Structure 1
């Protein structure tokens, strides 16, 4: 099984963390699927990414356009069928155990200040590790990222 990285956000914004992780993925030559659960939320995230400025610009697009397969980062509510190397799940988007094998990297980002998001992430950890996926839990509770657990 592949590896899943859980990021427990308590200090950084979702946009900051996804910008950092997605930038590193793009440097590896990977295409990234940014999977959410709500099209309106992804639209707002799309707008925020465009406004982040030239220094942190990430080439991306919303799914449903004529050039989805060409987008380095595709914002979508459904799994992309175009062989992307990485998946970044936000807002409780589901990732299956089979997907961990099909991608170089899977990230699950969740709001550590939201008890429901934390509970959902715990369920995802249990399901994915129970299916044999290797998982690493990253926390920024001390203000910087620390590896807190590994399956």
Structure 2
């Protein structure tokens, strides 16, 4: 049973939504990341602060990086994250990401939308920002554009 993909797990109706029946099938990294952004502190991660979470997500979970940036914007955490970036490494990662997106070379950052319905249910704030392709959700902070 461990070899099943999420699409193969039994599903249950939750209102008008179709969600996995087993909580062990839930995407822990995604949920921990989005709840961390929402609450402004690490949730489910063994990190001291949000900057450590941000660096981890960019390095190890590129498939949820865009959602993380969108969540930071939606929950107004961008400024405090940038303020805590004393070395400038986070700004450099954002610049690399932005350049990759603008040049069409951001395949590694392509979001995994397997859990889009779950995200819409748990984080409706993320769907209210508008279309990321239209540029909605981006902000310029101290010369660095951030957002999905």
TM-score by shorter chain over 0.5: no
- Answer 1 or 2: which has greater helix percent: 2
* Bigger RCO of structures 1 and 2 (CA < 8 A, at least 6 apart): 1
Q: Which has the larger radius of gyration?
A: 2
Which structure's residues are more often strand, by fraction?
A: 1
TM-score after normalising by structure 1: 0.32
User: Could you tell me the TM-score, scaled by structure 2's length?
Assistant: 0.33
